[in-house]
């Protein structure tokens, strides 16, 4: 780990004053950043600890919830309002990492966690995300865990977060020290610049995530290589409202298959107003996955995603 | 207050912020019960309790624990007597080599507190109701602690026996 200066931020203004300096990084629970610093993939000169900022989970007048960015994952997943009104959020968090990591990880940090692509972690490998312009060893390498949606000739790394998939489905909003961003506009697809992962400006600090008022039935399902403590091969966050046998409203987002938390708008468009049948669910999944560009070892994800989408919608419709 | 408490003893914070809580406990405070396994958050061997919550000390910077109360395996046993959960680990053969055991036991203590508080898990069928300690819940909640000897049956039995 390279040397750095550690600063504990007292409030948002204090954090941004330090975080705006060149070479500064905000630190949440450390479950991703500390690991990356130890591998010298991240080499901040100043680490600004923002875990002392707001952890509050507050009811909003319009029926939504505002979650302070320093709230720990466990605190969000165990919160009564989250469990009752946003089960897709609680289930997404509980499907991620281990209990110890969920006790440490913050909501703000979760939004900014970096890919688990093995070539990104391997200093001897070519990686455009780690060293822009150096190439991508994953494209012709071991790419079973990699993305099939939103990829480019520069990067095929999948986004690792579970929580982000639920937030993408929910149309959550991200509050920073200076503005409000739609959650689905926070992450950038790799294109030619996979090193640029979000639309945040240098030094911009996420201070809260807002969940809109929400009444649909919802859940999160994660498919992985082992029953617990593994990253997703495919995951689905979905919400469904059926009225008189027809789909009145629907939200779907996918994890494990996209370079960003993947909002499945094509599938949603294919579902609205249609009868809530398995055939319609399968056709909607096909519509979303028609754009998939599988690699040598991850073509299975297309079929796995189709089946998981249909199964989750079937569960919500029953 | 440039210190933290480890098992009730004040320990000064390191001058170099790179020091992990794990290295502070082992190398600075000289308490070797907490083990370094992977040092990257994958194995759970370094699990300690910070203000009663189980966390990974390898991914915690020591300076982040400033002013907090850290409990390691040494702090669970009062006055040299075994903690009751240590006793059931012995009785149920909850280990072979023992390397993961301090992390398993600290994790189990934190896990039972979470359960008492009503924290749900991935296998909790109904999020509206607080879960009970079934074998399925126990295994899911202890999945962050790996045992490469594969003593899982004994570990699960020891925790279940203690929780009775």
Q: How do residues B17-64 score in pLDDT, each as one tens digit? A: 999 999 999 999 999 999 999 999 999 999 999 999 999 999 999 999
Indicate yes or no: CB of B54 within 8 angstroms of CB of A74. no
Best mutation target among A43, A48, A84, A100 (most B Cβ atoms within 10 Å) is A100
Tell me the two tokens of residue A161. Answer: 């977060």
Q: What is the pLDDT of residues B82-107, one digit of tens each?
A: 999 999 999 999 999 999 999 999 99
DSSP letters, A160-172, are --SHHHHHHHHT-
Q: What is the pLDDT of residue B78?
A: 77
CA dihedral A18, A19, A24, A27 (to 10 degrees): 110
**Which three-class secondary structure state does DSSP give residue B97?**
coil
Q: Is the pLDDT of residue A111 over 80?
A: yes
Look up the domain containing B147 and give its range: 78-163
**Mean pLDDT across chain B:** 97
Does A198 contact B at CB distance below 8 Å? no
* Domain-embedded: residue A12: yes
Of all residues in chain B, the one with the smallest CA distance to A83 is B127
Cα atoms in the 13 Å half-sphere on the side-chain side of A158: 28
Of all residues in chain A, the one with the smallest CA distance to B48 is A100
Which residues in A lie closer than 8 A to residue B41 (C-beta atoms)? 31, 35, 101
Going by pLDDT thresholds of 50, 70 and 90, the confidence category of residue B1 is low
CATH number of the domain to which B33 belongs: 3.10.20.30
> At which of B58, B76, B94 does a domain end?
B76
Domain co-membership, A176 together with A196: yes
* Domain-embedded: residue A94: yes
Complex ipTM, two decimals?
Answer: 0.98
Q: What is the pLDDT of residue B79?
A: 82
Q: What is the pLDDT of residue B21?
A: 98
Q: What is the pLDDT of residues A201-248, one digit of tens each?
A: 999 999 999 999 999 999 999 999 999 999 999 999 999 999 999 999
Of all residues in chain B, the one with the smallest CA distance to A73 is B119
For the segment B72-87, the average pLDDT, to the nearest whole number, is 93
The alpha-carbon gap from A40 to the nearest alpha carbon of chain B, in Å, equals 12
* Domain-embedded: residue A119: no
Q: Is the pLDDT of residue B80 over 90?
A: no
Domain co-membership, A312 together with A254: yes
Cβ count near B10 (within 10 Å): 9
CATH number of the domain to which A24 belongs: 3.30.43.10
Domain co-membership, A177 together with A265: no
For the segment A292-306, the average pLDDT, to the nearest whole number, is 98
Sign of CA dihedral A225, A227, A230, A236: positive
Q: Is the pLDDT of residue A283 over 90?
A: yes
Global confidence as pTM? 0.98
């Amino acid at each position: 780990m390279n040397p750095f200066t550690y600063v504990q931020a007292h409030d948002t203004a204090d954090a941004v004053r330090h975080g705006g300096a060149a070479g500064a990084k905000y630190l949440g629970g450390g479950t991703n950043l500390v690991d990356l610093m130890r591998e010298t993939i991240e080499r901040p000169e100043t680490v600004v600890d923002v875990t002392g900022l707001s952890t509050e989970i507050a009811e909003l007048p319009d029926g939504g919830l505002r979650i302070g960015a320093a709230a720990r994952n466990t605190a969000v997943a165990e919160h009564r309002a989250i469990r009752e009104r946003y089960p897709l959020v609680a289930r997404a968090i509980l499907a991620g990492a281990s209990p110890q990591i969920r006790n440490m990880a913050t909501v703000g940090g979760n939004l900014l966690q970096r890919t688990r692509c093995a070539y990104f972690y391997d200093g001897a490998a070519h990686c455009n995300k780690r060293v822009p312009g150096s190439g991508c060893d994953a494209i012709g390498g071991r790419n079973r865990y990699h993305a099939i949606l939103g990829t480019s000739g520069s990067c095929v790394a999948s986004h690792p977060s579970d929580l982000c998939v639920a937030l993408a489905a929910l149309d959550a909003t991200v509050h920073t020290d200076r503005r409000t961003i739609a959650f689905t506009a926070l992450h950038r697809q790799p294109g030619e610049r996979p090193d640029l992962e979000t639309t945040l400006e240098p030094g911009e600090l996420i201070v809260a995530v807002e969940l809109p008022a929400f009444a649909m039935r919802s859940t999160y399902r994660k498919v992985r290589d082992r029953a617990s403590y593994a990253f997703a091969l495919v995951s689905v966050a979905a919400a469904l409202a059926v009225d008189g046998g027809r789909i009145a409203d629907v939200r779907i987002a996918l994890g494990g298959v996209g370079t960003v938390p993947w909002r499945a708008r094509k599938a949603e468009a294919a579902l609205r107003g249609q009868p809530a049948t398995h055939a319609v669910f399968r056709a909607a999944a096909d519509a979303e996955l028609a754009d998939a560009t599988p690699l040598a070892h991850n073509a299975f994800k297309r079929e796995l995603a189709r089946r998981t989408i249909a199964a989750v919608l079937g569960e919500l419709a029953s | 207050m440039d210190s933290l408490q480890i098992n009730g003893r004040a320990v000064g914070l390191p001058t170099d912020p790179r020091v992990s809580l794990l290295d502070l406990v082992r190398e600075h405070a000289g308490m070797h019960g907490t083990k370094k396994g992977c040092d990257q958050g994958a194995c759970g061997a370094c699990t300690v309790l910070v203000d009663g919550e189980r966390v990974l000390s390898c991914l915690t910077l020591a300076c982040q624990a400033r002013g907090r109360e850290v409990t390691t395996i040494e702090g669970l046993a009062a006055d040299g007597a075994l903690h009751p959960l240590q006793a059931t680990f012995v009785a149920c053969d909850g280990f072979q080599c023992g390397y993961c055991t301090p992390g398993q036991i600290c994790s189990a203590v934190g896990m039972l507190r979470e359960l008492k508080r009503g924290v749900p898990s991935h296998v909790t069928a109904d999020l509206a109701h607080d879960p009970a300690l079934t074998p399925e819940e126990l295994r899911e909640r202890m999945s962050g602690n790996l045992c490469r000897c594969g003593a899982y049956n004994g570990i699960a039995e020891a925790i279940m026996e203690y929780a009775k």
